[in-house]
A and B are shown apart, each in its own frame.
Chain A
Amino acid sequence: MFASLILVLLMGAIAWVGASIGLASLFGVVLPYVAVVVFIAGLVWRMVYWAKSPVPFAIPTTGGQEASLDFIKQAKIDCPSTTWGVVKRMFLEVFFFRSLFRNTLAEVRENDPVNNGPRSIYYSSKWLWCFSLLFHYCFLLVFIRHFRFFMEPVPSCITFVETIDGIMQIGAPRFFMTGGILLVAVLFLLGRRIFNQRLRYLSLANDYFPLWLILGVVVSGICLRYFDKTEISQVKIFLMGLTHFSPVSPEHLNAIFIVHLTLVCVLLMYFPFSKLVHAPGVFFSPTRNLANNTRRVRHVNPWNPPKQFFTYPEYEDAYRDAMAEAGLPLEKQPEKAAE
């Protein structure tokens, strides 16, 4: 847990020092290009790696009533039997984290009227769902908002997102809610891992590292906007240079900006080789992306081995006499088989 924190701090420090000893172009120009290439290539490689293995069996997890008789109502989304149903299920899964929404918590109710004392109950627990949803959506909005640095003129939809985001009209520069919520959500996700014993026990460095990293990105970003205010126009010129493959020198840019950029690059490069691939992964999940219609439509296994089993003729050969005695119908009567 602390090792990964130190690692993130170290990365930030290296970027900082690098920026101040004149290596800004290494961190500001070379690294972003490398990172984007690694990110895209890595992600493509990862998806090809998954896709290379077939889906031998259709194993959707059914979360409701199947489609069977007319008078029994099917749970069309949680137990889809058509592709359209699967699309709806996946939509809810991806955009609203349907499965996490189901989350229950096993807990003790101290004074249960039925038991006259404590009783275990499994009640719905939405905290994890709530914060992970906030986390992912705010991350997305913050990401979209950053497009104003890469585009000229800034598309109206991005300006619109900004207006909504800053609608509370607090402070100057105006406070963006998404940044704040993102920070809170990351802290919540980190806090669970650290303070919930169960989670702490199962968490690995691979779990803390991305959280610390994102925390680093968010904090440095917030610093850039509200505290150590960066010259936005210069950042924009620099980034436009990057996107148009004619980079300008980043020497004069704020060191925190270089730290921010470096951490983002690390995140991009880390992404395809870590658990963060859950983002594209969820689309591949055979328990979610298949319809529960396996009795109606045959699912084909490309490596289906040949059938080998104890056949009826072998069976009859083994038990023929006894079966004949019991009067069971036979393919070959004993006298015939003896010939």
Chain B
Amino acid sequence: MLSLEIFRAHKKEVVAAWVEAVFATYPFETTGFLRTKQDPFGNPVAHMTREAASTLFDAVAGEDMHPPTVKNALDRFIKLRAVQKFLPSQSLAVIHAMKPILREQVLPKMQDVGQLAAYLEAESRLDSLALLAFDMYCEARETVAEARIKEIRNQHAQLARWAQRLEDGGKAE
């Protein structure tokens, strides 16, 4: 498992670079706060990103991971991006943002030891993960849309039942 070892050796840099890349996608106002180097100021946003970063990398590297674990780790990250002010493409393009980082950091090493095929496989895994993220993104958006409908329905739930009964009563008479 030479390729896995190379990936593992680069985890720290790639994850850090990717987290940076994600932070860079936030509109100006947020970047400063998320990124602060001196004090490791975190906030839920930064934390969800880090949670996602580590797992995303492991999955790409080809670690033995169960899909539910991956999904769980990406869950809040994707959900967060789904309710932020982004276009869908912008929300999810961050997954692909790992590619240039991998190409810069990992690809040369892999080529040196003739593991190009393994590297390409890793990139394919990233593509699959992007598709997984797409599913999750859609699901999240659907949840929001559903929440809207449900909320309107719930606000008037009893009223609707009452109206229904009136109607039924009217028919019975």
Contacts and interface: CB of A to CB of B under 8 A. Distances in A.
B40 A107 contact: yes
Interface in A238-276: none
Interface in B1-59: 32-33, 35-36, 38-44, 46-47, 50-51, 54-55
Is chain A's binding surface mostly helix, strand, loop or mixed?
strand
B78 interface: no
Interface residues of B, number: 18
Nearest to A191: B38
Q: Size band of the A side of the interface?
A: 10 to 19
A198 B54 contact: no
B32 A115 contact: no
B126 interface: no
B133 interface: no
B70 to A, nearest CB: 12
A108 interface: yes
B46 A108 contact: yes
Contact of B40 (A108, A197, A198, A201): A108
B55 A117 contact: yes
Nearest to B39: A196
Interface string A96-138: 0000000001111010000101111000000000000000000
Contact of B43 (A117, A120, A196): A120
A96 B54 CA distance: 42
Contacts, number: 47
A106 B42 contact: yes
A227 interface: no
Given A115-B51, A118-B47, A108 B42 contact: yes
A118 B43 contact: no
Nearest to A117: B51
A95 interface: no
A195 interface: yes
Nearest to A115: B51
Interface string A48-92: 000000000000000000000000000000000000000000000
A147 B50 CA distance: 56
Contacts of B40: 107-108
B92 to A, nearest CB: 21
Contact of B47 (A108, A195, A196, A197): A108
B29 to A, nearest CB: 9
B73 interface: yes
Looking at B36, B39, B46, which has the most chain A CB atoms within 10 Å of its CB?
Answer: B39
Nearest to B69: A116
A110 B73 CA distance: 14
A110 B50 contact: yes
A105 B41 CA distance: 8
B51 A196 contact: no
Given A117-B73, A198-B33, A201-B32, A106 B51 contact: no
A110 B54 CA distance: 11
7 contacts: A107-B42, A108-B50, A117-B51, A117-B54, A118-B50, A118-B54, A201-B32
Given A106-B43, A108-B40, A108-B47, 6 more contacts: A105-B41, A106-B42, A107-B43, A120-B44, A196-B41, A198-B33
9 nearest CB pairs, A to B = A108-B42, A108-B47, A197-B32, A120-B47, A118-B50, A120-B44, A107-B42, A117-B51, A118-B47
